[in-house]
A = this chain, B = another copy of it.
Amino acid sequence: MLSVAEFDKLAEQVSNWGRWGADDERGTLNLITPEVVRKGTAAVVTGETFSLAMSLSLDGPQNGVGVRGRINPVRTMLAVNTPMSPSPDSAAYSDDIVVTPTQAATHWDALAHCSHRGVMYNGVPADAVDASGATRLGIESAGTVVSRGVLLDVARHEGVDVLPERFPVTRAALEAVERAQGKPVEEGDIVLVRTGQASRFLAADVPGYRRSVPALDHDAPLFFHERGAAAVAIDNMPMELLPSNVEDVVLPVHILCLVMMGMIQGQNWVLEDLAAACARDARHTFLLHATPERFPHSTGGLVNPVAIR
C-alpha cells in the first residue's frame, strides 16, 4: 500500500505542468510531431486495418447506475424509406438518432474528465468544468489523434488469454513486455495495453467484463512518462485497479495520467484481433488513428480507433 505522501511524490515526478506553456490544453499529445506521424506511417507494412471499437448499442457494457446516467447507447429511426417526392422515381431516405454517453463504450477520457484537489491538468481549476461542460480541457482540445501505436500484450506475455482478476499491470510488467517484444516505446507513441479482458465482453459476459478486472497499477504512469507516450489505451473499463493500491486514493492512475501528465487515456478498447495479428509476425507497431468525435466541451471522446499494420 502506497501512502498518500509517496503518491504525491510520484505525482510530482510525472508532472508536465507548464512544460508546454501555461495555457496548454493538449498535454502529451504535443509529443506527436509531424516526424512522429511519419514514423507511424512508416510502420505500415501490409496495409491491413483493424477497428478497435466496441459496437455502440444496448448490448454495451453499461448499466446506467455504476456511473450514474451512463446508459448504453439507444439508436432509433427518424425516418424509414420516406419518399422524397410523390414520384415513384424519386429516392426514399432513412435516418436515425442516437442517445449515448460519450464514455459509453470505446472512448478517450478528455483531460477534463478528472480533477484532483480542485485542479485539473496544468493547474486549471476544477470548476472550469461546470453544468455547461468543459470550458477548458474538453475533448476538442485534443484535435487530431494520429501517431505510431505500440501494443504491449501483457496477457500474451503472461501466457494467458485473460490476465487473472485484479492482476496489477505495473511499470515493471510493462517494461518486461516491452523488452520481450524487442521494440522500445518511443516519444510520441500511443501505447495500447492488452489485458485480454475485452474477450469477456466479446463473449457477451458483461458481468465478467466489469468484475474486479486486471488493470494498471499506480506506478504504470511512470513507464508512460519515461518513454514519452503521447496517450495510452486499455481493453477494460476502469483502466486501473479498483480499489487501488494507494491509501485513500481512488483512481490514482487517472490522477497521474490526466491531471499530472496531461495524457488522455482510452478505455474499453478491443485489442483481440490486432493482438493476434501482431503475435503472428511479431510486429507490434502500427499507424494508429484515434481522433475523437468533436463534441465541444465534452469530457469524453467517442472514437472508433483504427490500427493500420
Q: Residues of A at under 8 Å CB distance from B?
A: 4, 7, 33-38, 41, 44, 46-51, 53-59, 64-65, 67-82, 84-85, 87-103, 112-117, 126-127, 129-134, 140, 143-144, 146, 248-252, 254-255, 259, 287, 289, 291-300, 302-304, 306, 308
Q: Please tell me if the beta carbons of A69 and B74 are within 8 angstroms of each other in the complex.
A: yes
Q: Please tell me if the beta carbons of A76 and B51 are within 8 angstroms of each other in the complex.
A: no
Q: Please tell me if the beta carbons of A89 and B64 are within 8 angstroms of each other in the complex.
A: no
Q: Please tell me if the beta carbons of A95 and B37 are within 8 angstroms of each other in the complex.
A: no
* Contact A101/B96 with A67-B78, A76-B78 known, Cβ cut-off 8 Å: yes
Complex: A143 Cα to B80 Cα, angstroms: 23
Point out the residues of chain B lying under 8 angstroms from A132, CB to CB.
Answer: 68, 79-80, 82
Given A90-B251, A96-B298, A292-B304, 4 more pairs with CB closer than 8 A: A49-B143, A55-B140, A76-B78, A78-B101
**Which residue of chain B has the shortest Cβ distance to A112 in the bound complex?**
B94
Q: Please tell me if the beta carbons of B47 and A250 are within 8 angstroms of each other in the complex.
A: no
**Which residue of chain B has the shortest Cβ distance to A293 in the bound complex?**
B304
* Contact A293/B70 with A76-B97, A100-B98, A248-B89 known, Cβ cut-off 8 Å: no
**Which residue of chain B has the shortest Cβ distance to A249 in the bound complex?**
B89
Point out the residues of chain B lying under 8 angstroms from A306, CB to CB.
Answer: 144, 146, 289, 291
Most buried by B among A34, A59, A126, A289: A289
Q: Please tell me if the beta carbons of B96 and A57 are within 8 angstroms of each other in the complex.
A: no
Complex: A95 Cα to B255 Cα, angstroms: 16
Complex: A79 Cα to B109 Cα, angstroms: 14
Q: Please tell me if the beta carbons of B90 and A95 are within 8 angstroms of each other in the complex.
A: no
Q: Please tell me if the beta carbons of B294 and A304 are within 8 angstroms of each other in the complex.
A: yes
Q: Which of B33, B103, B117, B303 contacts A89 (CB 8 A)?
A: B117
Point out the residues of chain B lying under 8 angstroms from A68, CB to CB.
Answer: 58, 78-79, 132
Q: Please tell me if the beta carbons of A102 and B92 are within 8 angstroms of each other in the complex.
A: no
* Contact A97/B101 with A47-B33, A80-B129 known, Cβ cut-off 8 Å: yes
* Contact A75/B293 with A91-B251, A91-B254, A249-B89 known, Cβ cut-off 8 Å: no
Q: Please tell me if the beta carbons of A102 and B98 are within 8 angstroms of each other in the complex.
A: yes
Point out the residues of chain B lying under 8 angstroms from A289, CB to CB.
Answer: 146, 289, 291, 306
* Contact A115/B96 with A64-B58, A65-B58, A71-B64 known, Cβ cut-off 8 Å: no
